[in-house]
Amino acid sequence: MKPTLAILLVSAPLAALVACVADASPTGPSSAELLFALDPGTSESLAEVPAVRDELAQVMYDYFGLPTAPRLRVLDSWRALGFDPNGSPLEGARPPSDFEGAPPEAILVDNQRYWASELAALNASTTPLLGPWRRRGVMNAAWSDLAARRGAEGEGEWRVEARAFFAERYPDLSEAAQMFLPNCARCHGREGGGDGPMAAGLYPKPRNYQRGVFKFAAVEGGSKPRRIDLMRTVVQGLPGSAMPSFRTTSLAEISALVDYVRYLSIRGEVEAMLVAEWENDDVPPREAIAELYELVWSRWLEAADNAQRVTAPAPDPSPERLALGEAVFHDEQRGNCFSCHGPTGKGDGRAAVQIGEDGERYVLLKDEWGDFILPRDLTSGVFRGGARREDVYLRIHCGIPGTPMPSFGASVDAAGEPLLSEDEKWALVDYVLSLSNQGPFAQADSR
Ligand code: HEC
Ligand code: HEC
């Protein structure tokens, strides 16, 4: 009898797996369903060197596991620090900086809220049923097992365990994968390549996590986002795009989903770097991976050090402030915002859109992912990164990574001085918000 793939997958090295897949029956699961797919470009460029391609697949498996069994390699240097990227923050397995804004205590409090009816049922000595709206893949199976054990051991012990099951819940990567696949993969793709079945018709395209570039984060230019930045996006969604809000789930689950986004992102970025090392310097993946893996991880872990914490100054809706913002917006040597966002802020500046001789409109700008991109129509009132004054400030100060929207915090003039002062940036914020009649002036105007 042929061994089933599912059993082999858990323990067997990839070589055995590949051999087995090769003679799997046509109706059995195919290797493509079980392994992470390599980036399509990578597959193509390695098609003629199958030995390198197989080695790449093997080392990626060693460091990242499989879509059904994600598992991050724990480096020796991390062990000494007590850092385990697979571990639960509720058990202290990760540095506090990884949980800025949503620390373990907040997750525990939120679990009490989210699982209140289940915990109440336990207190009332009934066995909670997980309603269909609570179903969370593996969680259901685990709960069925636990519920079935009731009566088989001391009631007190069972209840302690059952209470902890809800109150201390923090999904691991496998559980997060089971949330990601039905909720996110249709847009972001199973590998996080931004190429799910729904992606083709969307503008803007769902994010390809594999580049390791994210747009809406409160960090200095070039830094990875913090986990809390990505959590904000998952909770609030991105207005004006297909990215939905997942507000109704628990903090623990949002946090775990973001763990999984980071996992896919690191996986994709490491894969691309391995291929580049091999193509440029002929270094085989197995020799290069340890260093690259540590490098990409260190960038994510130091994101917290690059945080931009912003408090908005008191609003000053005076005509002078707006005039200052407007002047900087239109000043070619300073903000130069109008060159992209257009003289009236409609997103049709001459650097962004041109009318060809044929009378057609041509979009001139592209983003990091190779897609055409329009500057935001600032009169629409739609701000993907949020419409609070702090949010708009962050977009101007940090820029929008991966897009032509520049970081004015990082822009300097010919003398090396900051191009815009803090005061001017805040004046721009209020001017931008006034274009859609939002922010501190909205009320004043509607009176
Ligand atoms: C219907 C399509 C769709 C679904 C479903 C979806 N997204 Fe997105 N997502 C998008 C689009 C489109 C963008 C990019 C918007 C942009 O570029 O401004 C995006 C962007 C993102 C980003 C990047 C934010 C940044 O700062 O660059 C993250 C993270 C993300 N989504 C996570 C998720 C997670 C997690 C799920 C599932 C729980 C999910 N998305 C489900 C469409 C979707
Ligand atoms: C080189 C072109 C370019 C210049 C110059 C530029 N922008 Fe942008 N801006 C963009 C693009 C492109 C986007 C859309 C990015 C995206 O899709 O997320 C954008 C988006 C924005 C947003 C939307 C943020 C959100 O949350 O949706 C604001 C606000 C903004 N720009 C303000 C400014 C201001 C103020 C200036 C001048 C100080 C400026 N921009 C200069 C190209 C530019």
Q: Closest ligand to 235 CA? A: 1
Closest ligand by atom to 249 CA: 1
Give the pLDDT of residue 275: 93
Ligand nearest to the CA of 205: 1
Q: 269 or 221: whose pLDDT is higher?
A: 269
Ligand 1: residue whose CA is nearest its atom 8: 243
Which of 356, 353, 378, 377 lies closest to 366, judged by CA? 353
If you take atom 5 of ligand 2, which residue's CA is the nearest one?
337
> Is the beta carbon of 192 within 6 A of some atom in ligand 2?
no
Tens-digit pLDDT profile for residues 68-79: 899 999 999 999
- pLDDT, tens digit, 9 for 90 and up, residues 111-151: 999 999 899 999 888 888 776 555 566 788 888 899 999 88
Pocket of ligand 2 contains residue 353 by CB under 6 Å: no
The token pair that represents 325 in the structure block: 């913002």
Report the alpha-carbon distance of residue 430 to residue 102 in Å, rounded. 30
Mutate to test the pocket of ligand 2, among 405, 428, 434, 436 (most ligand atoms within 8 A of CB): 405
Is any ligand 2 atom within 6 A of the Cβ of residue 217?
no
Question: What is the percent of the chain where pLDDT is above 90?
Answer: 70
**What distance in Å separates the CA atoms of residue 218 and residue 213, rounded to the nearest whole number?**
13
What's the whole-number average pLDDT of the chain?
88
Our answer on whether the CB atom of 165 is closer than 6 Å to any ligand 2 atom is no
Q: For residue 409, give Cα distances in angstroms to 212, 243, 365.
A: 21, 27, 22
Q: Which of 322, 340, 398, when mutated, tests ligand 2's pocket best, judged by the most ligand atoms within 8 Å of its CB?
A: 340
What pLDDT is stored for residue 130 in this prediction?
A: 73
Smallest CA separation from ligand 2 atom 24, residue:
383
Compute, in angstroms, the gap from residue 300 CA to the centroid of ligand 2. 25
Cα–Cα distances in angstroms (integers) from residue 95 to residues 90, 162, 214, 305, 408, in the given order: 11, 28, 22, 13, 31
| Contact 375 CB / ligand 2 (< 6 Å) | yes
404-441 pLDDT, tens digit each: 999 999 899 989 999 999 999 999 999 999 999 765 55
- Residues at CB less than 6 angstroms from ligand 1: 183-184, 186-188, 198, 202, 204, 206-207, 214-217, 230, 233-234, 238, 241-244, 246, 257, 261, 384
Residue 268's pLDDT band (cuts 50, 70, 90): very high
pLDDT of residue 64: 96
Of 359, 432, 333, 447, the closest CA to residue 390 belongs to 432
What is the tens place of the pLDDT at every residue in 85-94? 999 999 989 9
Confidence of residue 46 (pLDDT cuts 50, 70, 90): confident
- Mean pLDDT (whole number) for 203-210: 96
How far apart CA 205 and CA 203 sit, in angstroms, is: 5
CA of 405 to the centre of ligand 2 (A): 5
Ranking 39-48, 322-331, 419-428, 436-445 by mean pLDDT, the lowest is: 436-445
